[in-house]
């Protein structure tokens, strides 16, 4: 029988989950049940849905529950996750409330699906910036063991949510006329984002880092099963609608050449390497190379992948690499990852359509 699915949350990620379930022909009874904080009608991924107010009955007889993320002060999974598991469902949570719970597996399926042991029915999906970095790091870690990572992110406004995208689009007409006194919504960002950027994502902590930065540290160590990996992050919000970029410096125990790193990554699941001589360049630069940019994730062949380029050796340390990666933060950074977790559980016989 086809699986019965409930999606909790109708924001940008919830809509993407619905879209991806349909795109990938997930073996389920269509349509999924859609739940949120209040009942209403919504158009999600071009299809009309009746949205139910989330209640215990929403999980009875359901095989899989996807929690899209936050609803209210904490994620809906805080209120409803245990009830869904008790009702017999496997839950995959895109929200952040349980990621660092020792009892909850934190999963990027290409990396550590084995963390979902038979006794685990509640699974967390990592933060968007963590997912794309871990897909790159894991392959190199297996080959050469990573000691230290310095990462700077360039994160799109959709990582915050719909209100941030809307605010950027409202700011642009004013900014085109004048960069002075651009009106902005201060409950979203601390500064205007149009033609601007700032190193401020999520709340600040006592040590001066932000929560977003520390997510990249703690989540990466948990997923890779190695808390000896040192990670120094700076996360930056940029005026891009969708697509996160990351500049990553990596120190390894074993020497890897740039060519070896390219080959390793080119053969890694979920990764596409875009790093070769650009023979079509009109800029009179015979050494120019190709590299990915956020607009590339709009292309169907790239939308579900982590794109990697600018792979080069770091001459300032003995065993060092620099590289650049880009991914769709709403798809692989969120909705796709949770669906792929469920697909992995089907392949392993944990879910039986």
What would the 3-class secondary structure string for the chain be? CCECEEEECCCHHHHHHHHHHHHCCCCECCCCEEEECCCEEEEECCEEEEEEECCHHHHCCCCEEEECCECCCCEHHHHHHHHHHHCCCEEEECCCCCCCCCCCCECCHHHHHHHCCCCCCEEECCCHHHHHHHHHHHHHHHHHCEEEEEEEEEECHHHCCHHHHHHHHHHHHHHHHCCCCCCCCCCCCCCCCCCCCECCCCCECCCCCEHHHHHHHHHHHHHHCCCCCEEEEEEEECCCCCCEEEEEEEEECCCCCHHHHHHHHHCCCCEEECCCECCCCCCCCCCCECCCCHHHHHCCCCCCCEEEEEEEECCCCCCEEEEEEEECCCHHHHHHHHHHHHHHHHHCCCCCC
Q: Which residue has the tokens 């040192």?
A: 230
Average pLDDT over residues 15-19: 97
- Tell whether 183 and 308 lie within a shared domain: yes
Average pLDDT over residues 305-315: 98
Q: Is 23 inside a domain boundary? A: yes
- Tell whether 50 and 165 lie within a shared domain: no
Which pLDDT does position 73 carry in this prediction?
58
CATH number, position 17: 3.40.50.720
- Tell whether 226 and 316 lie within a shared domain: yes
Which pLDDT does position 224 carry in this prediction?
98
Give me the domain span that covers residue 222: 130-329
Q: Is 97 inside a domain boundary? A: yes
Using alpha carbons, select from 44, 53, 37 the residue that is nearest to residue 335.
Answer: 44
- Tell whether 146 and 61 lie within a shared domain: no
| Catalytic position from the list 35, 91, 141, 244 | 244
Which pLDDT does position 351 carry in this prediction?
96
- Tell whether 110 and 137 lie within a shared domain: no
Give every strand in the sheet of 5-8, ordered side by side.
Answer: 40-44, 47-53, 33-36, 5-8, 64-67, 90-93, 122-124
pLDDT at 72 over 60: no
Count of Cβ atoms closer than 10 Å to residue 4 Cβ:
18
| Catalytic position from the list 91, 128, 141, 325 | 128
Count of Cβ atoms closer than 10 Å to residue 224 Cβ:
18
Which pLDDT does position 278 carry in this prediction?
97
- Tell whether 28 and 93 lie within a shared domain: yes
Phi-psi category of 6—alpha, beta or left, where left has phi over 0 and alpha has psi -120 to 50? Answer: beta
- Tell whether 94 and 198 lie within a shared domain: no
Query: Binning pLDDT at 50, 70 and 90, where does residue 75 land?
Result: confident
Is 15 within 8 Å of 45 (Cβ atoms)?
Answer: yes
Q: Is 216 inside a domain boundary? A: yes
Is 246 within 8 Å of 293 (Cβ atoms)?
Answer: no
Average pLDDT over residues 225-231: 97
Average pLDDT over residues 81-99: 97
Which pLDDT does position 1 carry in this prediction?
75
Instruction: Find the radius of gyration of the CA atoms of the chain.
Output: 21
Average pLDDT over residues 302-329: 98
Q: Say how far apart CA 229 and CA 264 lie, in whole Å.
A: 20
- Tell whether 341 and 314 lie within a shared domain: no
Mean pLDDT of the chain: 97
Q: Is 353 inside a domain boundary? A: no
- Tell whether 150 and 56 lie within a shared domain: no
Which backbone phi and psi does 115 adopt, to 5 degrees?
-65, -20
Cβ contacts of 203 within 8 Å, gap of 6 or more: 210, 211
Q: Say how far apart CA 154 and CA 90 lie, in whole Å.
A: 33
Q: Say how far apart CA 328 and CA 332 lie, in whole Å.
A: 6
Average pLDDT over residues 52-62: 94
Which pLDDT does position 283 carry in this prediction?
96
Portion of the chain with pLDDT greater than 90, in percent:
97
Q: Is 232 inside a domain boundary? A: yes
* 50 included as an active-site residue: no
- Tell whether 89 and 138 lie within a shared domain: no
- Tell whether 93 and 172 lie within a shared domain: no
Q: Is 156 inside a domain boundary? A: yes
| CA 163 remoteness from chain centre | 19
For residue 46, give Cα distances in angstroms to 12, 19, 43, 132: 13, 9, 6, 27
Count of Cβ atoms closer than 10 Å to residue 173 Cβ:
9
Average pLDDT over residues 193-215: 98
Which pLDDT does position 188 carry in this prediction?
97
Cβ contacts of 310 within 8 Å, gap of 6 or more: 247, 275, 289, 291, 322, 323, 324
Number of domains in the chain: 2
CATH number, position 240: 3.30.360.10
Which pLDDT does position 71 carry in this prediction?
53
Which pLDDT does position 238 carry in this prediction?
98
Instruction: Please state the pTM of the whole predicted model.
Output: 0.96
- Tell whether 31 and 138 lie within a shared domain: no
Count of Cβ atoms closer than 10 Å to residue 194 Cβ:
21
Q: Is 270 inside a domain boundary? A: yes
pLDDT tens for each residue of 231-271:
999 999 999 999 999 999 999 999 999 999 999 999 999 99
* 244 included as an active-site residue: yes
Q: Is 277 inside a domain boundary? A: yes
């Amino acid at each position: 029988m086809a699986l019965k699915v409930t999606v909790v949350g109708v924001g940008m990620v919830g809509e993407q989950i619905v879209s991806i379930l349909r795109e990938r022909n997930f073996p389920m009874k269509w349509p999924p049940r859609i739940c949120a904080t209040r009942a209403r009608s919504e158009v999600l991924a071009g299809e009309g849905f009746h949205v139910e107010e989330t209640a215990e009955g929403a999980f009875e007889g359901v095989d899989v529950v996807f929690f899209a993320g936050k609803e209210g002060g904490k994620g809906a999974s805080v209120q409803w996750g245990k009830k869904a598991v008790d009702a017999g469902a496997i839950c995959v949570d895109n929200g952040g409330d349980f990621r660092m719970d020792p009892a909850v597996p934190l999963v990027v399926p290409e990396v550590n699906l084995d963390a979902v042991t038979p006794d685990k029915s509640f699974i967390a999906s990592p933060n968007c910036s963590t997912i794309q970095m871990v897909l790159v790091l894991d392959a190199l870690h297996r080959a050469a063991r990573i000691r230290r990572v310095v990462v700077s992110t360039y994160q799109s406004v959709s990582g915050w949510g719909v209100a941030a995208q809307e605010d950027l689009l409202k700011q642009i007409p004013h900014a085109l006329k004048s960069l002075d006194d651009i009106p902005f919504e201060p409950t979203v960002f601390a500064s205007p984002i149009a033609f601007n950027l700032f190193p401020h994502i999520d709340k600040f902590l006592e040590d001066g880092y932000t929560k977003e930065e520390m997510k990249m540290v703690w989540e990466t160590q948990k997923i890779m099963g190695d808390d000896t990996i040192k990670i120094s992050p700076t996360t930056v919000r940029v005026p891009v609608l969708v697509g996160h970029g990351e500049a990553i410096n990596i120190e390894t125990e074993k020497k890897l050449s740039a060519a070896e790193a390219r080959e390793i990554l080119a053969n890694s699941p979920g990764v596409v390497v875009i790093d070769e001589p650009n023979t079509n360049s009109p800029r009179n630069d015979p050494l120019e190379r190709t590299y990915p940019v956020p607009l590339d994730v709009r292309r169907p062949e790239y939308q579900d992948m982590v794109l990697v380029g600018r792979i080069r050796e770091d001459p300032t340390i003995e065993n060092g690499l620099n590289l650049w990666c880009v991914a769709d933060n709403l798809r692989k950074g969120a909705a796709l990852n949770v669906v792929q977790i469920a697909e992995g559980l089907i392949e392993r016989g944990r879910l039986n359509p």
